[in-house]
Chains A and B, each alone.
Chain A
Amino acid sequence: MAILLLAFKSLLNRKLTVFITLFSIAISVTLLLGVQTLKTETNNSFMKSISGTDLIIGSRGASSQLLLSSVFHIGNTSNTIQYKTYQELAKSPAVKWAVPISMGDSHHGYTVLATDLNFFTHFSYANKQHLKVQSGKIDDDMFAVVIGAEVAKKLHYHIGDKVIVTHGDGKIEGHHHDNIPFYVSAILAPSFTAIDQTLIISLEAMEAMHADHHGHIGALPGEKTLPVNNKKHMHKIASKDADHEYEAHSSHEHHAQHDDHEHDHEAHSNHEHHEHDHEAHSSHEHHEHDHEAHSNHEHHEHDHDHEAHSNHEHHEHDHDHEAHSSHEHHDTQEQRIARLLKLKPDNINAIFVGLNSPQAILGMQNYVNNFQAEPLTAIIPAVALQELWQFFNIAEVALDIVTVFVVLVGLLGMLSIILMSLNERRREMAILRSVGARPMHIFALIIGEAGFICFIGILLGTLLLYLLQYVLQAPLASYYGFYLEINMLTLNDLFILLIIQISALLIALIPASLIYKYSLSDGMSIKF
């Protein structure tokens, strides 16, 4: 005990060198623990990217590719599946819900995700948390866009702002769909997933954006005859469209009502075309299906359609008086046509699927993988995430190796200052021997010093780690969309610290045994 007190006082006497060594050990410990923390935190946030989705279905291919594109919005979006496959799969008895997603467009480098409103009811992340709206509300407007927290923040978008979407992945200058502006209807709360960097639009809007369609429609006779500045007229068509949708969702009575409303020839001709398209895409069936799939949806749809309808009336109003606050947005010609057509896309990229029971997952996966109509892949997100994480294993190991070396350098620094002090301390050792210290005491003195330096270094390093975490938590979240959770040291961390402490003691064996030898040969003789 007395010898440890001596070791402490001896260290106190060499404040500067000891402090530098302490600091180098502390920094290396901070780095090591920081890397461990970062590893677990990135893993956590990675694993939290999606939850509650039982299967992700895409075209036949690598599961990691499907996961990356559908969940992280990274990489290839050229692999598509047919929309009607989605419709068919959604009808499977095991399927509780299915949400189609389509990507490939971008906006200032942010992914544009096209899906339907069900996405917001079913998509969840972390512990089955749903996406929360921070401001605005999710409109069922075809050209409403819901934007992620980071998109809003970085691009300074507010509710009601106009947004123009680029076709393509944004890296190569895709052509702007100048004629199809979207308006921001809702901004999502940060989820710290890829959704934060995403703009969400409707599948119909995405379809409308794609040149093939509106180019083609532009050539239609009905379109040509549209008087360009007769806004009221245009909106009648839009209303008609809404009516039509209403009809698609409802019973025969409404059909009759619809017929009553039928009085515009132009609209009629367009409408016929629309009907035709509907058949081609069997969109009608889909709508019916929706009705079946969501028991309470019927009511919602009705309400909703009413709203949509009244909205349109509002719009008409707006056009007349030019005064509206947030939703001020004028449909372009393309938009009006698109509203009229309400085309679903032919192809989508992936389907998020929730099943009625977890037991059904493997069966459903098998069914999808052997789907007759087209080659498909179904992945279980949790499993695929885990697999994908293995890829990062090499990087993790490399990082580990680097940090281990940093710690080693810290400890070697300690070794060198102890070794350097040995010569000048032989006198001190002789004095200690003369008052009765055993060589073992001298040995313990050195080991004690090393142990002490390392222990304090570890404490300091840990303190520094938490300090850094507290300081960096907010900026990491706001600038990098990375939520750093501050946790207690894990058992693994403590184990690592123990290893460092033991290594320090082992390394100290070198100077300690040296001085042990010196003290045996020097005895009490002080030479120099």
Chain B
Amino acid sequence: MIDLTDLRFAWQKEDIINIKTLNIQKGQHLFIEGPSGSGKSTLLNLLGGVLTPQSGNISILGQSLNQLSSSQKDTFRADHIGFIFQQFNLIPYLNVLDNIILPCAFSAPRKARVLQRAASLKAEALRLLTALGLNQTELLQRNVNELSVGQQQRVAVARAMLGSPEIIIADEPTSALDSEHRQAFIKILFDECQKENITLIFVSHDSSLKQLFSHSLDLRKINQIKYKEVL
């Protein structure tokens, strides 16, 4: 359901990505490994349609991103992909609830899907938080800065999963967590993606996480660009 062909991307004149081909199946939980600066985030930005490749094509859910205008790509991303980042995933001036339902402000289909399964956005946010192990109702109105990093990351997962997008892209979501929480977090993420049949793309420099995934690959192996060690 995600197909990359002859994908090339360069920041200014510096080539970062050159991938001949990559296929990701629906429902797959894929781990992409690569050291810092190897171009993982750049690749995810290309998948999200935020960056446009110099050449080659990305097709997601049968839709070629090349055929979309940049604003259509933004809409496409909002409709079909949820993102989780390393840390500070949340908008500091919005409370937990508003952070979780934020995608609905930019995607009508996602909002419709939420309302199909739940009575309200709030009810769905609460359901997701409970599923992720944060079951205090009062949490919804809390300022996100009052949460622990682990709680913040779970709120970020809840936001990514709201309205069941087909794909979740996680960019080093566990880097800020200690090893105990890391395992628990990945387990919850897996469970929820499983339930909703969501395709998960998880990138990290931490190769020890590889064993938790059914599928994994090393970016350095598929990328034609030779990774230059950053001092």
A436 cross-chain contacts in B, Cβ below 8 A? 74-75, 77-79, 103, 106-107
* Contact string against A for B residues 87-116, beta-carbon threshold 8 Å, 1 for contact and 0 otherwise: 011111110001000110111000000000
Instruction: List which A431-456 residues lie within 8 A (CB) of chain B.
Output: 431-441
Judge whether B31 is part of the interface by a CB distance below 8 angstroms: no
B83: nearest chain-A partner, CB-CB: A434
Q: Output the least CB separation between B185 and chain A (Å).
A: 19
* Contact string against A for B residues 54-85, beta-carbon threshold 8 Å, 1 for contact and 0 otherwise: 00000000000000001100110111000101
Q: Contact between B83 and A435 (Cβ–Cβ < 8 Å)? A: yes
A524-B45 in contact given A2-B106, A436-B106 (Cβ < 8 Å): yes
Count of B residues near A, CB < 8 Å?
32
Judge whether A526 is part of the interface by a CB distance below 8 angstroms: yes
Instruction: List which B29-46 residues lie within 8 A (CB) of chain A.
Output: 41-42, 44-45
Judge whether B53 is part of the interface by a CB distance below 8 angstroms: no
A435-B45 in contact given A12-B93, A523-B51, A524-B83 (Cβ < 8 Å): no
Could you tell me the distance between the alpha carbons of A431 and B106 in the complex, rounded to whole angstroms?
Answer: 12
Q: Output the least CB separation between B4 and chain A (Å).
A: 17
Q: Output the least CB separation between A478 and chain B (Å).
A: 49
Q: Contact between B91 and A431 (Cβ–Cβ < 8 Å)? A: yes
Instruction: List which A3-38 residues lie within 8 A (CB) of chain B.
Output: 3, 6, 9-10, 12-14
Select the residue from B41, B92, B107 with max chain A CB neighbours within 10 A.
B92
Q: Contact between B79 and A13 (Cβ–Cβ < 8 Å)? A: no
Q: Contact between A427 and B88 (Cβ–Cβ < 8 Å)? A: yes
B159 cross-chain contacts in A, Cβ below 8 A? 435
Judge whether B216 is part of the interface by a CB distance below 8 angstroms: no
Judge whether A288 is part of the interface by a CB distance below 8 angstroms: no
B95: nearest chain-A partner, CB-CB: A9
B71 cross-chain contacts in A, Cβ below 8 A? 438, 440
* Contact string against A for B residues 179-217, beta-carbon threshold 8 Å, 1 for contact and 0 otherwise: 000000000000000000000000000000000000000
Could you tell me the distance between the alpha carbons of A10 and B74 in the complex, rounded to whole angstroms?
Answer: 22
Judge whether A525 is part of the interface by a CB distance below 8 angstroms: yes
Could you tell me the distance between the alpha carbons of A59 and B108 in the complex, rounded to whole angstroms?
Answer: 84
Q: Contact between B41 and A525 (Cβ–Cβ < 8 Å)? A: yes
A435-B102 in contact given A523-B45, A524-B83 (Cβ < 8 Å): yes
Q: Contact between A9 and B93 (Cβ–Cβ < 8 Å)? A: yes
Instruction: List which B105-157 residues lie within 8 A (CB) of chain A.
Output: 105-107
Q: Contact between A523 and B105 (Cβ–Cβ < 8 Å)? A: no
Q: Contact between A432 and B85 (Cβ–Cβ < 8 Å)? A: no
A438: nearest chain-B partner, CB-CB: B74
Could you tell me the distance between the alpha carbons of A427 and B91 in the complex, rounded to whole angstroms?
Answer: 9
Q: Contact between B74 and A431 (Cβ–Cβ < 8 Å)? A: no
A524-B106 in contact given A431-B91, A436-B79 (Cβ < 8 Å): no
Could you tell me the distance between the alpha carbons of A524 and B47 in the complex, rounded to whole angstroms?
Answer: 11
Partner of A524, one of B44, B90, B93, B103: B44
Could you tell me the distance between the alpha carbons of A427 and B93 in the complex, rounded to whole angstroms?
Answer: 13
Q: Output the least CB separation between B227 and chain A (Å).
A: 18
Partner of B94, one of A3, A9, A434: A9
Partner of A525, one of B45, B75, B89, B94: B45
Judge whether B173 is part of the interface by a CB distance below 8 angstroms: no
Q: Contact between A431 and B89 (Cβ–Cβ < 8 Å)? A: yes
Judge whether A272 is part of the interface by a CB distance below 8 angstroms: no
Could you tell me the distance between the alpha carbons of A340 and B103 in the complex, rounded to whole angstroms?
Answer: 101
Could you tell me the distance between the alpha carbons of A427 and B156 in the complex, rounded to whole angstroms?
Answer: 14
Q: Contact between B41 and A437 (Cβ–Cβ < 8 Å)? A: no
B92 cross-chain contacts in A, Cβ below 8 A? 13, 428
A432 cross-chain contacts in B, Cβ below 8 A? 91, 102
Select the residue from B86, B91, B94, B98 with max chain A CB neighbours within 10 A.
B91
A13: nearest chain-B partner, CB-CB: B93
Judge whether B50 is part of the interface by a CB distance below 8 angstroms: yes
Q: Contact between B86 and A526 (Cβ–Cβ < 8 Å)? A: yes
Task: Report 28 cross-chain contacts, Cβ distance below 8 Å, ordered by A residue.
Answer: A2-B105, A3-B105, A6-B94, A9-B94, A10-B93, A12-B93, A13-B93, A14-B93, A428-B91, A431-B89, A431-B90, A431-B91, A431-B102, A432-B91, A434-B77, A435-B83, A435-B103, A435-B106, A436-B74, A436-B103, A436-B107, A438-B70, A439-B70, A523-B51, A524-B48, A524-B83, A526-B85, A526-B88
Task: Report which B residues bind A (CB closer than 8 A).
Answer: 41-42, 44-45, 48, 50-51, 70-71, 74-75, 77-79, 83, 85-86, 88-94, 98, 102-103, 105-107, 159, 171
Additional 8 contacts, C-beta under 8 A, given A427-B88, A431-B91, A440-B71: A10-B93, A13-B92, A14-B93, A434-B85, A435-B105, A436-B103, A524-B85, A526-B86
